[in-house]
A and B are shown apart, each in its own frame.
Chain A
Amino acid sequence: MTRDTQSSTPTSASNSSAQPLVSLKNVNKHFGELHVLKDINLEVARGEVVVVIGPSGSGKSTLCRAINRLETIDNGEIRIDGKELPAEGKALAKLRADVGMVFQSFNLFAHKSILENVSLGPVKVKGMKAAAAKELSMSLLKRVGVDNQAQKLPAQLSGGQQQRVAIARALAMQPKVMLFDEPTSALDPEMINEVLDAMVALAKEGMTMIVVTHEMGFARKAADRVIFMADGQIVEQATPEEFFTNPQSDRAKDFLGKILAH
């Protein structure tokens, strides 16, 4: 019976669940002479949490930023939910609204209150009514534990609080996938966990996530798959358990040896 439905409606089946939510095919990018992304192939399934790790300059941030076209690529193909990334204009803006992004340096709108930071997207991009957007924003701020700061400006909050607001701001667009570009790298050590906790909670709720990070603890706890990048290539990918206990490549062994030594 299952077989029948699949064969009778092959397109709809491939459009809904079988098809990866994010797919990169033969993606290449250069920064001048430097080949930062070398023939990257990657598929991320709906609900999957993929953690990208690797040494500095390995291209992992560029990979993350290419997925919503904050970095353009030289060639190859990037698809979100089956649709190829448009080059520019309204179509690109529309697609970006479906891809949440959390930056290393938070990038909250400095002249807007915390509440406005979160509600701006729903109102200005999605045309949501102000009252509904406020309600949505407050519930998201509550979820990440900063609802009591709603009227303040970003500069009045700690780094950890700002990053949690940034997560709420991205969630307010009800994205299909969330990109995290080293979300804890600019934080004081005592603030890292409050952000990671919010991310773990999000992963548990089934959000599709691509997370560039140095937090191995987060990778172990929340990742479905770990991708190890070096020199612009995906060198190795495995479940966190496999990767951390039994890395295959010398490059990964060397990297893990250095960061897990103490």
Chain B
Amino acid sequence: MEDYLSLLVEYDVLGAFWVNIQLTLWAGVWALLLGTVLALMRISPIASLQWLGAAYVNIFRNTPLTIILAFGFLGLFGQLGFTLAEDLNVSLFRIAILGLAIYHAAFVCEAIRSGVNTVPLGQAEAARAIGLSFMPAARLIILPQAFRGAIAPLGNVLIALIKNSTVAAAGSVAIETSTVMKEMIEFRSDVIYPIFFTFALGFVILVIPIGLLTTWASKKLAVAR
């Protein structure tokens, strides 16, 4: 036991989790923005935009995240010399955020679209009937109700994003949890089970409140009809 505790002093486990939380928050914000734009494209009356939105979702939803993040590191950064900051580690961190956001935007888009399906068609018709064109109708009437109907599926995307942030290891973000865990196991295979358990527990502690919160919020904020 003491062996194991000394390991926690040697390795910055909390710091590693903080990296994953940051990856999640940044990627979450960008995925939400991009996913909302994609959802708007998919419900827009313009056929070419619908097609583009659908193509994006089908491509990125069906590509393994590991490949996207490895491409960011090896393809974008390694081959093309693409950087997002002066500092190497900051740049890789941001490229990982980009990859996570691009991938999860496809799921956010579909979550919002499921929210749009909770809004009766009559709401859009009434908006059009008073003279609102597509964008104002979407912004004022459809999306506010759609988001409230999409809280639970968006929560699921967030939960997946937290756990998927460990794949940033494939993007060579070296200080996040799965990399730190791997190093700890390599050096101290005698306490391999406590190490696994520590990281598993860490994620459970992060994820459970999100599930509870979104369930509560989706009930609390449901649009009364």
Contact = CB atoms under 8 A, between A and B. Distances in A.
Given A88-B45, A89-B133, A124-B136, A70 B144 contact: no
A108 interface: yes
A111 B148 contact: yes
B45 A125 contact: no
Nearest to A94: B131
Contacts of A125: 130-132, 136
A109 B143 CA distance: 12
Interface string A218-242: 0000000000000000000000000
A112 to B, nearest CB: 8
B225 A96 contact: no
Given A109-B141, A111-B148, A93 B223 contact: no
A173 B125 contact: no
A97 interface: yes
Size class of A's contact patch?
20 to 34
Contacts of A121: 130-132
A101 B131 contact: no
A120 B144 contact: no
A96 B223 contact: no
Contacts of B45: 88
Interface string A69-80: 010000000000
Contact of A169 (B125, B128, B130, B132): B130
Contacts of A100: 129
B130 A173 contact: yes
A155 B129 contact: no
Contacts of B129: 68, 70, 96, 99-101, 103, 170
A153 B225 CA distance: 9
Contacts of B207: none
A99 B144 CA distance: 25
Given A109-B141, A111-B145, A111-B148, A96 B130 contact: yes
A111 B223 contact: yes
A107 interface: yes
B127 interface: yes
Nearest to A69: B128
Interface in B88-129: 120, 122-123, 125-129
B123 A110 contact: yes
A19 interface: no
B43 to A, nearest CB: 15
Contacts of B225: 110, 155
A105 B122 contact: yes
B140 interface: yes
B9 interface: no
B126 A93 contact: no
Interface of B: 45, 120, 122-123, 125-133, 136, 140-141, 144-145, 148, 223-225
17 contacts: A88-B45, A90-B133, A93-B128, A99-B129, A101-B125, A103-B125, A107-B120, A107-B122, A109-B123, A111-B145, A120-B130, A121-B131, A121-B132, A169-B126, A169-B130, A170-B129, A173-B131
Interface of A: 68, 70, 88-90, 92-94, 96-101, 103, 105-111, 120-121, 124-125, 153, 155-156, 166, 169-170, 173
Closest 4 CB pairs of A and B: A97-B131, A155-B224, A107-B122, A107-B126
